[in-house]
Structure 1
């Protein structure tokens, strides 16, 4: 408590000592004070000042007790807050570690599930290939045609599941190269040959000599989904037009147009949503709502704009707008 008092009055004490030093210097330099006892004067002044400090000490003692009590409580409070803060930080770290472990566990389980699904898809491809060879050896044309159609449906479902699983890692599973549109489009049309013959659907195709920079495998998947929908909803003995144009900015536009029932205006903004089948899909029960959804996701990942123009009752046109090469550079950092 005494030290606290001294610290609070340190300025007074310093002022007094300085004043005393100056007084002694004056007495030593001024001959008028030669007969005065400097030691006596110093002793009297120091004694008076000490008595003054003692009196002030007892006068301020209650306040000093309150200050010491407040400081001790404050120190305790700071200690408590520090302990609380440390506890909060420890709990936060434990929670972060637990969350990280849960995320890693979910990611590991998801990767395992994805690997198992991919393995199943690859396993089922073998019997599908064998079935295809057995169907081609049938002599009964009608039976062979019906079996080929059912095989095609099964093949498309397995293929869609395979690409849906791989779509999550499309950024790691793509190879950009120069692709001739004619090659991809004709390859996909041949896949649907049996189905088209059964419905009497023909194709009116442009020369398709344009070359685009994209991933051939994923572009084939996108065109496959679009052609599947076009054939599915086209009436018997009709045509599907495949043409290529350019817009005002010289983007290549691949258009696939059918003369089916078209899409209702209220359904058009939602056709790319997952599992959305639309009015016609609900009425016919032939739509899954996944084809255009997966095609849109794949197209977006490749920088391709996929959109649909349709007039209800007059048909539907699906457009693939390919980016320019400099836009690919900006998107993929080539």
Structure 2
């Protein structure tokens, strides 16, 4: 603070040095001042200036601290408070408050617009789900089995896109929407596999699923969304007539791990650090028009919100293993206490 004060008052110090030089020049040139001691004059002026500088340092540091404290607290009315700040600082603070008020007004307007857009998007998604459900029921009446399988696959892809958009819209309010409870992994995983049945039949994808008898504490709806995104990627990038392995284990800390292993094309090493970034499709995604780069991004962000950690191991040509690590009991308590 002292260095800051001295730098702020360099003009004062320079002016004082100029006065001292002028006094010494006058004493040297004016014969009428020969009877006065020049050292006495210099010391007197220097002591007076030092006392004045110390006094201004104490006053202005107090004013500065009061000013900064009031900026942080964003006072509603500077003039109605008994503040130890200078008139200039009062003007600064008033102007800052005006700017903050204008920005807060703009921010509130943007929030209202964003909420309106979110509500409209949610309404649109729910409207789209109704005809999708009707189309799914109509598919049962298609007699041509091959055609029905193709239509079911395309319907499933469309359904997954709508579902992804629905959860992306709800993501901003996930803290209000989640509900932690003990669930059995098998229930969630099997339900998502059944939902992918048409797509799997078309590509000849099979599943080798472990018993999955472990219970974990999490939100079943959001966990299902995470599993859905990983399974859809596994099916999308796996070759025909391949198999997806799903199994669990317990790590050294006692946490439950859910592994989903595919035999797909794999992920390049340079792509691995970025696969959870928004809209990043990677090398494989650029070769597929179906890739949006949103699935893993949403899955990763949802997982962080409910305490699940997603990791991936992959190499080109050898498939990928996505691992979900569920929080321990003490980690879960920290999560719910945030």
**Common fold: TM-score over 0.5:** yes
Tell me, in whole angstroms, the C-alpha distance in 2 between the residues paired with 1:149 and 1:155: 10
What TM-score results when the alignment is normalised by the length of structure 2? 0.73
Which residue is 1:201 aligned to? 205
Instruction: Give, in angstroms, the shift of residue 93 of structure 1.
Output: 2.0
Correspondence list, 1:154-303, <5 A: 154-303=158-307
Correspondence list, 1:1-334, <5 A: 83-333=87-337
List per-residue Cα deviations over 1:45-64 (Å, max 9, x = no partner).
xxxxxxxxxxxxxxxxxxxx
Instruction: Give, in angstroms, the shift of residue 90 of structure 1.
Output: 2.6
Instruction: Give, in angstroms, the shift of residue 82 of structure 1.
Output: 5.2
Tell me, in whole angstroms, the C-alpha distance in 2 between the residues paired with 1:321 and 1:93: 47
List per-residue Cα deviations over 1:291-328 (Å, max 9, x = no partner).
11100000010110001001211110000000111110
List per-residue Cα deviations over 1:255-307 (Å, max 9, x = no partner).
00011111111111111111111111112333111111100000010110001
Instruction: Give, in angstroms, the shift of residue 96 of structure 1.
Output: 1.5
Tell me, in whole angstroms, the C-alpha distance in 2 between the residues paired with 1:256 and 1:88: 59
Give the number of the structure whose alpha-carbon radius of gyration is greater: 1
List per-residue Cα deviations over 1:198-247 (Å, max 9, x = no partner).
11111000000000000000000000000000001111111100000011
Instruction: Give, in angstroms, the shift of residue 87 of structure 1.
Output: 3.2
Tell me, in whole angstroms, the C-alpha distance in 2 between the residues paired with 1:90 and 1:250: 57
Instruction: Give, in angstroms, the shift of residue 147 of structure 1.
Output: 1.0
Which residue is 2:28 aligned to? none
Tell me, in whole angstroms, the C-alpha distance in 2 between the residues paired with 1:278 and 1:212: 32
SS at 1:240 equivalent = strand
Unaligned ranges ≥5, structure 1: 1-80
Tell me, in whole angstroms, the C-alpha distance in 2 between the residues paired with 1:89 and 1:261: 60
SS at 1:139 equivalent = coil
Tell me, in whole angstroms, the C-alpha distance in 1 between the residues paired with 2:290 and 2:132: 22
Instruction: Give, in angstroms, the shift of residue 83 of structure 1.
Output: 4.8
SS at 2:241 equivalent = coil
What TM-score results when the alignment is normalised by the length of structure 1? 0.74
Q: How many residues of Structure 1 are paired with residues of Structure 2 in the alignment? A: 254
Which residue is 1:16 aligned to? none
SS at 2:287 equivalent = helix
Tell me, in whole angstroms, the C-alpha distance in 2 between the residues paired with 1:86 and 1:185: 63
Tell me, in whole angstroms, the C-alpha distance in 2 between the residues paired with 1:84 and 1:330: 47
Unaligned ranges ≥5, structure 2: 1-84
Tell me, in whole angstroms, the C-alpha distance in 2 between the residues paired with 1:85 and 1:246: 61
Instruction: Give, in angstroms, the shift of residue 254 of structure 1.
Output: 0.2
Tell me, in whole angstroms, the C-alpha distance in 1 between the residues paired with 2:86 and 2:246: 72
List per-residue Cα deviations over 1:70-104 (Å, max 9, x = no partner).
xxxxxxxxxxx955444333322221211111111
CA RMSD across the alignment:
1.4
Tell me, in whole angstroms, the C-alpha distance in 1 between the residues paired with 2:285 and 2:93: 55
Instruction: Give, in angstroms, the shift of residue 333 of structure 1.
Output: 1.5
Tell me, in whole angstroms, the C-alpha distance in 1 between the residues paired with 2:114 and 2:287: 35
